[in-house]
């Protein structure tokens, strides 16, 4: 069974947990899944084992505390320490997938958007002139901003586990909204404030969309082949 099959099975079986056990188990699940560069296969296998164990224990009237002890975080840390790391080749494929997908979205929308605005409203130009040096710098900068954003959100999710007092939903929403706005603003703003350097070239703006779609197709094939998200 592939890790994605375990995830599906886990989602179904988790519903059989009691309210209290489910809350604790799901915190453990989030905490362990976000433990960083660990083998997804091994992680999902052991999460599935823990779930089965908890379900059996539940039948005998035992609670999560009886099974995992009183310090859930400590228990999870002990477990995580023994999970082997992800294979480097898969980590590379995964990173490549995210980069292609992200640049695909950005490039397609940018190209198509500018092209359509020019066609229908006669605003802007159907050609785009940029300098190679600053173009490459902007792409690298946007990828750095993206990785910063991903790392922040993962940390934030991990920190939200095992909280005795649940934080206010609205405050949490506002915080995440603000961070997302900063992320989008920085991504869109970086080409605007970037000074141009290096030799200039002019290409039809629609070619951005074509490059974007090619990136999409490659990321789609990668996903199919390596079962990255499904």
Partner 1 sequence: MSLRSQLLKGVLEGCILSIINRQSTYGYELSVRLQEFGLSDVSEGSIYPILLRLQKEKLIEGTMQKSDLGPKRKYYHLTEDGQHALREFMEQWENIKLPVDNILNKGGETD
DSSP 85: B
Question: Which region among 51-59, 124-132, 155-163, 164-172 touches partner 1 (by CB under 8 A)?
Answer: 51-59
Q: Per rule CB under 8 A, is residue 53 in the interface with partner 1?
A: yes
From the CB of 230, what's the least distance to partner 1, in Å? 19
Report residue 182 CA to chain centroid gap: 17
Q: Does 50 interact with partner 1 (rule: CB under 8 A)?
A: yes
CB nearer partner 1, residue 43 or residue 114:
43
Q: How far is the CB of 91 from partner 1 (least distance, A)?
A: 18
Nearer to partner 1, 23 or 172 (CB): 23
7 binds partner 1 (CB under 8 A): no
What does each C-alpha distance from 155 to 87, 90, 111, 150, 181 come to in angstroms? 22, 22, 33, 9, 18
Do 18 and 60 form a contact (C-beta atoms < 8 A)? Answer: no
CA distances to 2, 40, 67, 75, 102 from 43, rounded to whole Å, are 11, 5, 19, 14, 26
CA distance 218 to 134: 25
Closest CB to partner 1 among residues 58, 134 = 58
Q: Does 36 help bind partner 1 (rule: CB under 8 A)?
A: no
The whole-angstrom separation of Cα 93 and Cα 95 is 5
Q: Binders of partner 1 among 77-116, rule CB under 8 A?
A: 78-79, 81-84
Using CB under 8 A, pick the residue from 48, 115, 208, 215 that binds partner 1. 48
CA atoms within 13 A on the CB side of 6: 18
Residues that bind partner 1 (CB under 8 A): 1, 9, 13, 42, 45-46, 48-50, 52-53, 56-57, 66-69, 75, 78-79, 81-84
């Amino acid at each position: 069974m592939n890790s994605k099959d375990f995830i599906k099975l886990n989602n179904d079986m988790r519903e059989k947990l009691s309210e209290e056990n489910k809350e604790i188990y799901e915190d453990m699940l989030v905490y362990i899944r976000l433990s960083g560069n660990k083998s997804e296969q091994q992680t999902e296998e052991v999460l599935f084992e823990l779930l089965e164990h908890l379900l059996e224990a539940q039948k005998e009237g035992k609670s999560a505390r009886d099974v995992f002890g009183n310090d859930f975080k400590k228990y999870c840390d002990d477990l995580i320490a023994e999970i082997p790391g992800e294979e480097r080749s898969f980590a590379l494929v995964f990173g490549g997938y995210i980069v292609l997908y992200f640049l695909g979205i950005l490039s397609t929308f940018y190209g198509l958007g500018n092209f359509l605005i020019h066609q229908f409203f006669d605003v802007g130009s159907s050609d785009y002139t940029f300098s190679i040096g600053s173009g490459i710098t902007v792409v690298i900068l946007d990828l750095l901003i993206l990785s910063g954003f991903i790392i922040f959100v993962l940390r934030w999710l991990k920190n939200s586990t095992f909280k005795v007092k649940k934080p206010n939903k609205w405050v949490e929403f506002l915080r995440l909204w603000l961070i997302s706005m900063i992320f989008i603003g920085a991504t869109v703003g970086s080409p605007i404030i970037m000074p141009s350097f290096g030799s200039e070239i002019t290409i039809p703006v629609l070619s951005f969309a074509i490059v974007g779609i090619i990136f999409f197709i490659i990321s789609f094939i990668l996903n199919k082949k390596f079962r990255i998200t499904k």
